[in-house]
Amino acid sequence: MTDFTERRVAMVDTQVRPSDVTKFPIIDAMLKISREQFLPNNLRSIAYIGDHIPLLKNRVLLDPRIFAKMLDALELKSSQLVLVIGSGSGYGVAVISQIVEAVVGLDEPDMSIDAENCLASQEIDNAFIVEGDLHKGNAKHGPYDSIFVEGAVEYIPDEIIQQLKDGGRIIAIFMDNAIGKVQLGIKTRGNVNWRFEFNAVAPILNGFNKEEEFYF
């Protein structure tokens, strides 16, 4: 039988900590949440590899190192409300739920059912999943202290920026052809100033291609 607990500890010790992610809330959350429970049975054996894991529809479970470094940059606080866009199987929502007060996960209808089941299996009661178009965000439950885009984009629609509180933070992987950069945005007086964090790549989420920005 596979010892997932040992693999989870090894993931944190050999992937996350060496990536200069040492904040206790992040380390503790990634040790608590069973990553394999957010994958189908045929993929559980690779739950703790240091790479993206393919899901449905050109979507991935983010590489643990990239995921942890993005969380680190957000500087999450225990009192915060967080929106996760492209929440997929719900793993990111589950981890973040251990750090903040409440989490809203947003995904398309055919991705959200499994996520709800996975969250329930971990007895997480401060997070839930809503269905909708990813590029529209979820204004109903906002505004948010932080927004985590769990995938890549070519741009961020203004509609999402409007759902971020002033002083809030948003993070995403911005793709420019084959080059990807994680950028952190901080909202000040209604405007977001972006800064480079580190290089990373991931598939672009539906609705976040530049050509779709001007589609009516």
Domain positions in the chain are: 4-213
Q: What confidence score (pLDDT) does residue 58 get?
A: 82
* 3-class secondary structure, 11: helix
Q: What confidence score (pLDDT) does residue 32 get?
A: 96
Q: What confidence score (pLDDT) does residue 111 get?
A: 77
Sort 154 into a burial class: Cβ within 10 Å, 0-12 / 13-18 / 19+: middle
The beta strand positions in 26-143, using DSSP E, are 53-54, 60-61, 81-85, 102-107, 127-131
Q: What confidence score (pLDDT) does residue 120 get?
A: 87
Tokens of 197: 């964090």
Q: What confidence score (pLDDT) does residue 114 get?
A: 81
Please provide residue 150's backbone torsions phi and psi, each rounded to the nearest 5 degrees: -90, 65
Give, in degrees to the nearest 5, the angle at Cα 207 between 206 and 210.
120
Look at the block and give the residue holding tokens 């607990």. Answer: 5
Which CA distances in Å does 34 have to 37, 69, 94, 98? Answer: 6, 19, 9, 12
The CATH fold assigned to 4-213 is Rossmann fold (3.40.50)
Please tell me whether the peptide bond between 54 and the residue prior to it is cis, using omega within 30 degrees of 0.
Answer: no
User: Considering the entire predicted model, what is its pTM?
Assistant: 0.94
Q: What confidence score (pLDDT) does residue 121 get?
A: 85
Q: What confidence score (pLDDT) does residue 113 get?
A: 67
Q: What confidence score (pLDDT) does residue 184 get?
A: 98
Q: Consecutive 10-residue runs of the chain (216 residues): their mean pLDDT?
A: 87 97 96 94 95 89 97 97 96 97 93 82 92 96 97 96 97 96 96 96 94 51
